Structure 1
């Protein structure tokens, strides 16, 4: 191993990679997962060689973009842990979650379509991160929820809504889900 290979990436290389990811996210949302790499490089103002140096294959780029999307969803959940109203925080994140599932699923599948072992590993990691975020939000909101409700229950219900319809309708279903999940107080409470 050469001494150069142990060095941290240069600042311009890090900026280029971040720029490529940001532009790829935009272009993939506009054009779909089969978009030409040349278009991404051109829009980023970066040469094709630089694009391929950072992301040697289409799968590498798609994985990086989707992983970034999962990180953003989980960061949003972490930020919401500081919200004053835990139940509002949970449902704000679930709203983001169903939009993510409804709109990013094709990207996740395209990113992992080449290798089953890679798909299993990546999906396990992404699933664990999302579940941990949901678990923290459900745990904080637990006093306002049915006592037997788990993060796994909430994610299954929200995922079902997201997979059954488009993002707009999935958001509506999650809003309806809230009234079914919220604990009733006072005289209206039953069993």
Structure 2
């Protein structure tokens, strides 16, 4: 939210974001933008002015969790075994995506052209944060060369989206993540 906006625009942004956080928590990535506007007491055009795409709204709602995941990556960067550190962080990414409805959708790579103003900042932030963990693991021979953080995020998102309607999504996502980890190992 730019600081140069009028006070009423900043208040609208804060109110819309608070309502959106509740709606996304209740309904996931498909939360109704119209319902968010009604509950926030603004028009749908106001919601779209602040959040021109659903992804922009989901990213704003997910920002605190993304920042926590980035901080966690930094904590783990120089700790212990490089593979264990990377996998612990990826496990955190999966767990956060399961517990924070809408986060997996905010992290998806949909193949659309990147809009420099509204690019996927959540994924970019995680790619930047996870880069040192992955480079260390590749350098140590603990992860196959050619694996990217974008690959890992796509893997995590796919697992979370595939398990979101499971009876116990957290347990199933964790099980599938552990199963997929074998594929990260270098062949040899």
1:71-117, CA deviations, whole angstroms, 9 ceiling, x for partnerless residues? 445423320212344555533432343353895388559xx9xxx9x
Q: Secondary structure at the match of 1:55?
A: helix
The 5 Å alignment of 1:55-94 reads 55-56=48-49, 60=52, 62-69=54-61, 71-72=63-64, 74-80=66-72, 81-83=74-76, 84-85=79-80, 87=83, 89-94=85-90
Matched position secondary structure for 1:145: coil
* Cα distance between partner residues in 2 of 1:146 and 1:87: 7
1:10 equivalenced with 2:13 (yes/no) = no
Structure 1, unaligned stretches of length 5 or more?
Answer: 1-6, 184-189
Given the superposition, is the C-alpha separation of residues 174 and 137 from structure 1 closer, same or farther in structure 2, using an over 3 Å criterion? same
Counterpart of 1:175 (choices 168, 174, 178) is 178
Cα RMSD for the two superposed structures: 4.3
The answer as to whether partners of 1:21 and 1:64 remain within 8 angstroms in 2 is no
Counterparts of 1:36 and 1:180 in 2: how far apart (Å)? 39
Q: Which residue of 2 aligns with 1:120?
A: 113
State whether residues 20 and 61 of structure 2, in contact with CA within 8 Å, keep that contact through their aligned partners in structure 1: no
Change (3 A) 1:120 1:98: farther
CA distance in structure 2 between the partners assigned to 1:56 and 1:164 by the alignment: 32
| Matched residue, 1:186 | none
> Structure 1 residues 122, 107: closer, same or farther in 2, change over 3 A?
farther
Return the match for 1:148 from 145, 148, 162: 145
Deviation (angstroms), 1:22? 2.7
Q: d(CA) in 2 for partners of 1:31 and 1:155?
A: 22
TM-score normalized by the length of structure 2: 0.59
User: What does 1:24-39 align with in structure 2 at a 5 Å threshold?
Assistant: 24-31=20-27, 33=30, 35=32, 37=34, 39=35
Asked which structure has the greater CA Rg, the reply is: 1
Gaps of 5+ in 2: none
- The TM-score normalised by the length of structure 1 is 0.58
